[in-house]
Structure 1
């Protein structure tokens, strides 16, 4: 499933994923002692998975909201406590907010130090306050305006100094730990790729982690210091993929067959793909590079509707998840005690599963099998009357109570309350890895995995031990991703318990 947008460059949002990924290293951001030059000049000190990325547009929105709340609170306080005219206080607050936006005080440019940023905010405060003063001068006594001005400037100035210094420090921290600046890899060691790297080195608004090129005999060791890490086949299984926001294909504009082959080969990845055609119109190439490598903070990472939906889903996860944990805590404690009394071993079982964008996460469950028979890789899926399952395990699996510890995964941001169920890394259907049975299997990794989902309430629960069951689950997961919304998630949550209670035949 590809979505093409002709906006100076071609964006290809692929919804599929590679079947097998190398296990991501916890030290993925650290230098390789054997190859200290393989990091390159555009790789951050730390690599954060894409699910932990903070979209710049959202950061800018939140900074604006904090200013709005702070300035309106200051206006209300001055009106109540100091007798400042309500009209002047409100006008000064709103005019200052407008001036802050016009002064680009929410850009947080990489080269902008704290003094310059605070100076920008101070100028916006002066312009907004002055504009409010002049606008109200014809209809308000001068003494009242002067008193309001003298009270407003120090209070509003303190609010802006505090909020903007805090946001500036936060942005620097997020940039250092890899959570704010998007990561890309380039396919094709071409002139366009070199120009893109040069623009990124100049702007520092994007991290280029490496270059991949299929021309083994002619590919260089690096491009402007960015290492060439192999061909496109090496990219398919590279451990850096869970940290990559987008893949940029830079190939000659006339190489139509090569472009089609690369797109077809890479479309199995869950990452976004962008075409930057080498040798195309210079103006179009410059515009495309500007879009990729010099994105101001307020415009990072896609359309605002996607950010709003993601923010609403995360807020839903935190609010409902925290409430669910509070209500479920006594039940979880009782289950843990019952498991310990029923069979030797720990109450909890952990398993590595694929999360968003193929990131490997550790998912927690209550242990339902005997310790010596536990299957962390799901090489043998559960069956009816499975002899590995304990007495307590049969009950908690039948009622899905074994999944309750995953609330902790939700609160950590690794999972969502609603989404495709996470499958174990290397899970097999018969003797074949499940991911190899369906071309669209990795559509599921374009969204965080969930505790429940559209597939679960439509009967696709438990093992997927035939190719037909794998295909049905993938189809339902893809349908959910295409329909996902705040209200659809609430509907699925509401339907989960009655579906589980009414389905005693499913093997779980």
Structure 2
């Protein structure tokens, strides 16, 4: 695995919570990427595998065409089968040899040697099958040589990109440690030697006893400070490193930290100093962008967003142009309304909507939620809110990857229910952020739309959102997308 030591230069803290305490540490990544951006980098492996499939299949067709065997009138199964088997074999070998993994990889020369081996074995299998079918050498040799050479070039590019991402820290898990204990210090010291994960900071609820730093990593505040720390969107995993004999303290911290969307791992005392725990942490998935779902499901969800989102934008473009003109003619102010809301892993994103209220009455923090016959809403605003057309610009948020077509609806940061911030009413509120927010969602088609004016409404919204996260699938998303328009248009009771 490439050595990341030179790239993990100290950087200033991204939060001022530890003013006066140590503010720099040895693990800071070269480039700060939040969990959503890092997950997007990790999904690049699927695009690369798709490129390999295109190369193997495309060159097979090219070989048949070059030798004049692609004419449908003369094409035979005997000519096609060897190349089809060869293409499948080389793709299976590339995957079987582990050449698409982000974990500790062999040296680049070994990786490329494996590509050559896969190409040679696949070509041999195709050639043997072709001879057995009486096809002779045919197009197999040109295909095998050409495919192997192109794959060597592609995998060389792949290795270059992976090395760059690794230098930037995009492929090494970002963790924070709760508990400035000897367990934590041993973990940090061993991690510093291995350099396969980034320890962003330490938190301890007994600040009076804790040092300014632990093995060079700054102590950034008390455990409660982590609950609202600006570092959270960058954190893949929280490590609780409390001595095992402090049972009540472990249970209390676990209860408090489990309200966060970030995965929590408890470091057992007997594991301290062992490579096993470091290997397990370094090899653990980064923060999952699909609510704990495998990367393959997250990749399918992203493709769904891109394909359906692009088609929706094309279809909605004329309607959006008419709405923009109507807003401009109806009242003074900008066409769009932008609001900061929470996205995946509590990342702050800017969500786009058509402006439906008078510009002077804009409420960026949703401190006053919408009500029936709200005097802030314009004439055009009443129509586009009633039909949910004001949400159409969020297609841009979907295409840029900040949102998904389906997911929990993003709430404004600091949104209030009555006089209390909504996020404080339900302990599991932040669990909504374990997946990217959506233009529509399970809660929306189940009747939980618009303002949440009571604690019971907030609780029901959270329950529906968490239920969706646990059940998310391609087919469920497709069903929600299809049912959204008739459900919204048929609902005259919801305040929007």
**TM-score interval for Structure 1 and Structure 2 normalised by the shorter chain:** 0.7 to 0.9
1:178, distance to aligned residue in structure 2 (A): 4.8
Range with bigger deviation, 158-167 or 196-205: 196-205
Matched residue SS, 1:186: strand
Give deviations 1:436-460, integer Å, cap 9, x for gaps: 1222222211121111122222222
Matches within 5 A, 1:66-145: 66-82=51-67, 89-107=83-101, 114-129=108-123, 139=132, 144-145=136-137
| RMSD, aligned CA | 3.2
Partner of 1:22: none
Matched, 1:225 2:219: no
In the alignment, which residue of structure 1 is the partner of 2:260?
A: 269
Q: Secondary structure at the match of 2:149?
A: helix
Question: Of 177, 190, 213, which aligns to 1:186?
Answer: 177
Which of 16, 28, 34 lines up with 1:49 in the alignment? Answer: 34
Q: What pairs with 1:8-407 in structure 2 (closer than 5 Å)?
A: 31-32=12-13, 38-54=23-39, 58-82=43-67, 89-107=83-101, 114-129=108-123, 139=132, 144-145=136-137, 151-152=142-143, 154-280=145-271, 286-294=275-283, 306-407=294-395
Structure 2 runs not aligned, ≥5 long: 1-9, 70-78
In structure 2, C-alpha distance between the alignment counterparts of 1:73 and 1:422, rounded to whole Å? 42
1:407/1:96 Cα in 2 relative to 1: closer, same or farther (>3 Å)?
closer
CA distance in 2, matches of 1:45, 1:281: 28
328-337 or 65-74, larger mean C-alpha shift: 65-74
Distance 1:377 1:46, change over 3 A: same
Residue aligned with 1:279, SS? helix
* CA distance in structure 2 between the partners assigned to 1:321 and 1:91 by the alignment: 36
Deviation at 1:212, TM superposition (A): 1.8
Q: Distance in 1 between matches of 2:92 and 2:476?
A: 36
* Displacement after TM superposition at 1:406 (Å): 0.8
Residue in 2 that maps onto 1:496: 484
Q: 2:234 & 2:259 partners in 1: Cα distance?
A: 16
- Alpha-carbon displacement from aligned partner over 1:72-115 (angstroms, at most 9, x marks no partner): 33234334424896565445444444443454333456676655
Please tell me whether residue 438 in structure 1 is matched to residue 432 in structure 2.
no
CA spacing shift, 1:128–1:232, aligned 2, 3 Å: same
Task: Indicate conservation of the 8 Å contact 1:353/1:425, yes or no.
Answer: yes
- For 1:331 and 1:419, the matched residues in 2 are separated by 24
| Alpha-carbon distance change, 413 to 113 in structure 1, aligned in 2, over 3 angstroms | same
Q: 1:112 to 1:203 in 2, by over 3 A?
A: farther
**Normalising by structure 2, what TM-score?**
0.85
CA apart distance, 1:30: 5.5
Paired residues, what number?
472
Give distance in 2, aligned partners of 1:41 and 1:119. Answer: 35
Aligned CA distance change for structure 1 residues 305 and 399 (closer, same or farther; 3 Å): closer
Identify if the C-alpha distance between structure 1 residues 105 and 308 changes in structure 2 by more than 3 Å, giving closer, same or farther.
closer
Preserved CA contact (<8 Å) 2:407 2:442: yes
C-alpha distance in 2, partners of 1:275/1:504? 48
Which runs of 5 or more residues in structure 1 are unaligned? 1-28
1:124 is displaced (CA, Å) by 3.9
User: Which secondary structure state, in structure 1, belongs to the residue aligned with residue 371 of structure 2?
Assistant: coil
CA gap of 1:59–1:368, structure 2 versus 1, over 3 A, is closer
Q: 1:96 to 1:382 in 2, by over 3 A?
A: closer
Provide the C-alpha distance between the structure 1 equivalents of 2:41 and 2:121, rounded to a whole number of angstroms: 26
Please list the CA deviations of residues 457-489 of structure 1 after superposition, one character each: whole Å capped at 9, or x if unmatched: 222222112222222222222222232222222
Cα distance change of structure 1 residues 114 and 320 upon mapping to structure 2, 3 Å threshold: same
Q: What is the CA–CA distance in structure 2 between the aligned matches of 1:74 and 1:35, rounded to whole Å? A: 62
Distance 1:108 1:476 in 2: 34
Aligned equivalents of 1:308, 1:169: Cα separation in 2:
23
Q: Return closer, same or farther for 1:92/1:381 CA change in 2, 3 Å cut-off.
A: closer
Change (3 A) 1:375 1:140: closer
Contact 2:343 2:349 in 1 (8 A): yes
